[in-house]
Amino acid sequence: METVSNNTLPELTQVKRRRRHSPAFREKVVAACAQPGVSIAAVARHYQLNANLIHKWRKTIAVGSNPTPEPPGFLALPLSNTVTDPDSKVTLTLGELIIQWPLSHIHQAVPWLKALQS
Residues 47-104 pLDDT 10s: 999 999 999 999 888 766 655 555 566 666 655 555 566 677 777 777 787 878 787 7
Answer yes or no: do 80 and 114 share one domain. yes
Answer yes or no: do 110 and 75 share one domain. yes
DSSP assignment string, 39-81: -HHHHHHHHT--HHHHHHHHHHHHHHHSSSPPPTT-------S
Answer yes or no: do 86 and 116 share one domain. yes
Average pLDDT, the chain: 77
Which residues span the domain enclosing 31?
A: 23-65
Answer yes or no: do 92 and 115 share one domain. yes
Number of domains in the chain: 2
Answer yes or no: do 37 and 60 share one domain. yes
Rounded to 5 degrees, what are φ and ψ at 27?
Answer: -65, -35
Per-residue confidence band for 108, with pLDDT thresholds at 50, 70 and 90: confident
What does the alpha-carbon distance between residue 58 and residue 64 come to, in Å, rounded to a whole number?
A: 10
Asked if residue 13 is part of any domain, the answer here is no
The gap between the terminal CA atoms of the chain, to the nearest Å, is: 71
Instruction: Say what the pLDDT of residue 30 is.
Output: 92
